[in-house]
Amino acid sequence: MKYDIKDISLAKEGKLRIQWAERNMPVLRSIQARFKKEKPLKGIRLGACLHVTTETANLAIALKAGGAEVILCASNPLSTQDDVAASLVKNEGIPVFAICGEDDKTYYKHLNAVLDTKPQITMDDGADLVSTIHSKKKGLIPNIIGGTEETTTGVIRLRAMEKNGVLKFPIVEIGRASCRERV
């Protein structure tokens, strides 16, 4: 398994923190239990560019329990929790490409490492995966089922792509409410 993290010896501390967060995520625990039985994502490669935190770790673990092959890189190098990245690699067998404080060159190397696995579903926080696919990795598009986007900034980027007729696969907007939607 390929990965690029700060220090694998941080895995024990990361596992404890992931378990602590998991206790406060009852809905995700329920989904994970169901996924373990049903395997709805069996055979799906899922490339994620998200904050590498305890919460994201629990999401990745649940998706893997559902049968997905999950590959993760950091959407924000400053939010990466190195112990969590180490635990995902060592204890869960999830390839992670993330180092707290990584520079731009490393960030894009990590983003491309995820895309090199040819994901069928993308999970994005800022639309960097999708933008890179559409600009530099167009050969991936025919095999992509769709993706998700978490941020307002990413949604704005993707809506512009859609308006210009260049967005080539569906994206589900998650975790965002506009001012109009809250009223």
State pLDDT tens for residues 99-110.
999 999 999 999
Instruction: Give me the residue label for tokens 């859609």.
Output: 162
pLDDT at residue 89 in the model: 98
**179, pLDDT greater than 80:** no
Q: If pLDDT is split at 50, 70 and 90, which confidence band does 176 have?
A: low
Number of residues in the chain:
183
Q: Using CA atoms, how far apart are residues 146 and 9, in angstroms rounded to an integer? A: 35
Q: If pLDDT is split at 50, 70 and 90, which confidence band does 180 have?
A: very low
| CB neighbour burial string for 152-167, b if at least 16 within 10 angstroms, e if fewer | eebbebbeebeeeeeb
**What does the angle CA 43 – CA 60 – CA 18 come to, to the nearest 5 degrees?**
150
Among left, alpha and beta (phi > 0; psi -120 to 50; other), residue 15 is alpha
**Cβ 67 vs Cβ 40: under 8 Å:** yes
**Cβ 45 vs Cβ 13: under 8 Å:** no
- Range 101-105 contact pairs with CB under 8 angstroms and sequence separation of 24 or more: 101/77, 102/74, 102/77, 103/77
- Tell whether the torsion through CA atoms of 26, 44, 53 and 5 is positive or negative: positive
pTM to 2 decimals? 0.93
**What does the angle CA 72 – CA 75 – CA 81 come to, to the nearest 5 degrees?**
75
pLDDT at residue 131 in the model: 97
**182, pLDDT greater than 70:** no
